[in-house]
Structure formats: C-alpha cells, structure tokens
Structure 1
Amino acid sequence: MSDSQSLFSHLVELRSRLLKALLAVMLVFLCLAYFAQDLYHWLATPLLRVMPTGAQMIATDVASPFFAPFKLTLVFSFFVAIPVVLYQIWGFVAPGLYRNEKRLIAPLLFSSTLLFYAGIAFAYFVVFPLAFAFFTSVAPEGVTISTDINSYLDFVLKLFFAFGLSFQIPIAIVLMCWTGVTSPAQLREKRPYVVVGVFVIGMLLTPPDVISQTLLAVPMWLLFELGVLVGGLYYRPEEDEPDQDSSENQDTP
C-alpha cells in the first residue's frame, strides 16, 4: 500500500470515528432535550439557594429562556458522552502504539474521564455554594441581585471546564515521567514554584475572591502531589548503556 493510500485510509477512519463520537453526543442530547428546563434549574440551584428573598434570575434577551437551557443540555450531553468520545480516540490511535504503550494509555484515558467528572462535581457541590454565598453577601446596600441566565450559564461552564481540566494534573505528570521529560525528584525540587503557580492559576481561572481561588489552588496542589507519587511508579531512569566500541574491543582477542 502506497503512502497516499495509507494516508487516505487513515483519514477515512478518522472521519468515521469523529462521526460516531458526534452521533453519541447527539443521541444523548435528544434523550435529554425534554429535560432541558429541569437541567437548567438544577444548575441554578446553588445560586437560587443563597439569593435574597424575593430575588430571582432574569433573561435580558427575548430568546434566552429557550436557548440557554438547550445550550446547557448540549454541553451536558458532551460531558455524558465523553467515554464514547475517548473510546473513539483510543480506537484510532491504538493500532499505532506498542504493547507497553497500550497498557499505559488505556488506564490513563479511564482515569482522565473520572478526574474530569470529579472536577465538575467538586465545582458544583463545593465551590459554587461557597462562592455564590460570598458574592450575594457582599452586594452593596440597595443593589438587587438579579443574575441574567445567559451570563450565569457562561460563568458556571467556564468554572466547570477550569476545574475539569485542572484535575488532569496527575495524568500530565504521569505522562511526563513516563516519557522521561522530567522525574519525580525534579518535580519535588520545584514544589515551591508549583505552590505559587497553582495559586496564580487559581486567581486567573476563578472569580476575584479568595475563597474560589483557594478552592481551586489547594486541590491542584494535592493533585500535583498525587501525580508525583503515581509518576514515580512509571518513571524509568535511563541506565548507562555500555559503549559499543569498548564492547567490540573486548570481544576482539
């Protein structure tokens, strides 16, 4: 098979797997579309619980009450279908991997999915109640809290992605240790810089309050420590190979 034919077959397979992943997302979306309003109410619950009595969310655009819940449902469908999406990615790249690489990548894909879900759950159940309680408590006197449903949706989706991606730190560290980019010892030496870095990232990715920043920075630091611990199991220090010329000289009588 020529290179052009091989490339064409890979492109056809990539297209097929992308379509399957997209189909999985759309099937989940069709199943959840009927519950779009309920999903949005569930998402808004952390804010609604801490809003002052009589306050409510508003829609500043005419079509927002319709489109905002369906936008949430589409994103939520992607979250639900992530295992299928990752399976299609795995099916595409697995034939080109060695056996030892397959043993590593498959568990990492599974762990990455669980960590992404864990980051979203942590944001919803821990960060949102504390952050929204803080925001509503510092409103100036005479200011009525009426959050736009589109603005709220964009805000929480950004936090979902921020926490979901930040929880991938152990996966990144294990890959770096396994490929030899760095070592657990080198990562431990850089721990002070990492601590400062996670707080800077927490400041950039979260709302401008100490609570949200700390609630992102501390888990990131703990995940870094977990990644270093697990990365030590996969790190293979490079052993000095015998010099080929010297070995040949030894074989020569």
Structure 2
Amino acid sequence: MARTRRPSDGRMPLLEHLLELRKRFVLIGAGLLLGAIAGWVLYEPLLVALQQPLERASELTGNDVTLNFTGPASALDLKVKAALFLAVFVSCPWWLYQVWAFITPGLNKREKHYAYGFVGASVPLFVGGAYMAWVVIPHAVQILTGFLPEDATNFTDAQMYLSLVMRLLLAFGLAFVSPVLLVGLNFAGLMSAKALLAGWRWAILVAFTFAAIMTPTPDALTMILVALPICVLYFGAVGVSMLHDRRVEKRLAEAEV
C-alpha cells in the first residue's frame, strides 16, 4: 500500500501520525523487553543496593530494620518488578530517542540531528534526577525509622519498599527530563518560548508541589534542594527555546526577502 504523502508544511496526516505512534510504542516495548532481561540478571546487585539504606538505619538506631517477604510468591513478584524497573533505566537512551522521534517527525534533515542532542541531554538528566532520589531515600529511611521504640524490630515489606523506591527514582528522573521535552515541543512548533516564559509562576509552583509530595522527609530544606534544580532546568529550557525561536524568525525573514 502506498504511503500517504506528507503535506508541504511538514505536518503528518492523522493516519500516518497514528501509525508512527504505534511504531514508536512497538520499538519502546522491544527495548524494554531487552532491558528486562538485563534487569533479571542484575537483580541480586540491585537487591543488595536497596538494602543498604535499611542496614544503615539499623546501625544508627540500634534496632533491627530488615526486608520482609510476606508470602511464598512475594520473592518472585519482587524479582519481576525489579527486572521491569531496571529495564526502564537500562533502555532509557532508547525510549527517550523514540519519544523525540515521535514529537518531531516534521523537522527538516538538519534539525533532526537535534535528536542526538536531545538524547545526550536527557540521559544524564534522567540519571541525575534518579540519583538525587537515591540520595534522599537513605535520609528518609533514617528519619522515619528513628521513631522506633528502643529494641524494636521493623519488618519492612519488600514489595512496598521496592514500589516506593521505584516511584521516587522514576518520578525524579522524569521531572529532570521534562524541561528537555518542553524544548522538543518548542522545536516541533507546538509551544513557543513566550508561552513557556509566561507560565513560569505555574512551573515554580508545580516544582515545589512535586518536591513537597515526593520527598518523604518533613524538613523544608530537602524540599527546596529538590525543587531548585527543576526550576533551573525549566528556565534553561526557556532560554534554549528563545534562541531557537529567534533563529526560526530570522530564517523566515531571510526567505521573504
């Protein structure tokens, strides 16, 4: 079947757009499957790393803080979840590229090279956000287990603990990547730099609300330390979008002459 021709303005017809979406989902799924296989192999080192905050809290409080498996199948369930969790991290360059390739299909050949820059910026930001969450988790565990009575034992449910860690790492990673996605929308012509700048108050509010919800510790300092990098990245995205809009306006002005 012949492919529908793309209009001269670079926009994709609806049918082709849906086919492109399906293609990207299939490619992302294939990458996650391969990542899950790697995650299954790396399960043991991950489990050791996840228990370090609990062991540290046990040393500081003098109480026993250990993971608890509540059923015969809970260990298997935990391994499957850990494999899927690691798949997201192992394959993050792949699925981030697919996201970029989907939202910017109408760019010209020169502009498509920005896809490599997008992935190059997104991967360290995603890992950096996850690392910040990893730094917060031990402090949260220490503070929360500090309320245990003397000589008490805390049996932490392994499923619940892993789910909490996964949510924090993924949420922080995606929060740090979101400004780059805004740049992608700007390059695709879906959002102007002026519109991004006009929403700066909402961006700051969302950043601090996100930090307040996602940081399990009650102190304000941790919330501020989490929210500030997100705000800085947002304004960085605004700056990059402004430079891009100026280049586009200049190119259009030269074409009209």
TM-score class, shorter: 0.7 to 0.9
Corresponding residue for residue 207 of structure 1:
216
SS of 1:45's equivalent? Answer: helix
Matches within 5 A, 1:1-253: 1=2, 3=4, 18-51=25-58, 52-53=61-62, 54-88=64-98, 96-124=106-134, 126-139=135-148, 144-175=153-184, 178=187, 179=189, 181-183=191-193, 187=197, 191=200, 194-207=203-216, 209-210=218-219, 212-236=222-246
Q: CA deviation at 1:147?
A: 0.9
State the Cα deviation string for residues 41-63 of structure 1 (Å, max 9, x = none): 21232232213443312112321
Q: TM-score, normalised by structure 2?
A: 0.72
Distance 1:22 1:83 in 2: 13
Range moving further from structure 2, 28-37 or 13-22:
13-22
Q: 2: CA distance between counterparts of 1:94 and 1:193?
A: 25
Change in CA separation of 1:95 and 1:199 when aligned onto 2, cut-off 3 Å: closer
Q: Secondary structure at the match of 1:61?
A: coil
Compared CA separation, residues 82 and 232, structure 1 to 2 (3 A): same
TM-score of the pair, normalised by structure 1: 0.73
Distance in 2 (alpha carbons) for counterparts of 1:173 and 1:16: 22
Deviations 1:98-128 (A, max 9, x none): 235414344223322221121112211x212
- Counterparts of 2:186 and 2:102, CA distance in 1: 24
Deviations 1:125-145 (A, max 9, x none): x21222222212234567532
Distance 1:141 1:230 in 2: 54
Cα distance change, pair 26–226 in 1 and its aligned pair in 2 (3 A): same
Question: Distance in 2 between the 1:183 and 1:12 partners?
Answer: 29
CA offset at residue 91 of structure 1?
A: 6.1
Structure 1 or 2, whichever has the larger Rg, is: 1
RMSD across aligned positions (CA) = 3.7
- Tell me the residue number matched to 2:9: none
Cα displacement string for residues 186-243 of structure 1 (whole angstroms, at most 9, x for unaligned residues): 72x76555444322221233326235533421221222233234333323285898xx
* Greater Cα shift, 18-27 or 144-153: 18-27
8 Å contact kept, 1:118–1:164: yes
**SS of alignment partner, residue 153 of structure 2:** coil
Q: What residue identity is the alignment partner of 1:222?
A: V
- The 8 Å contact of residues 4 and 16 in structure 2, kept in 1 or not, is answered as no
Distance 2:80 2:129 in 1: 23
| Stretches of structure 2 lacking an aligned partner (at least 5 in a row) | 6-12
Residue 186 of structure 2 contacts residue 241 of structure 2 at CA under 8 Å; is this kept in 1?
Answer: yes
Unaligned runs of 5+ in 1: 245-253
Any conservation in 1 of the 2:176–2:230 contact (CA below 8 Å)?
Answer: yes
Q: Does the C-alpha gap of structure 1 residues 233 and 214 become closer, same or farther in structure 2, counting only changes over 3 Å?
A: same
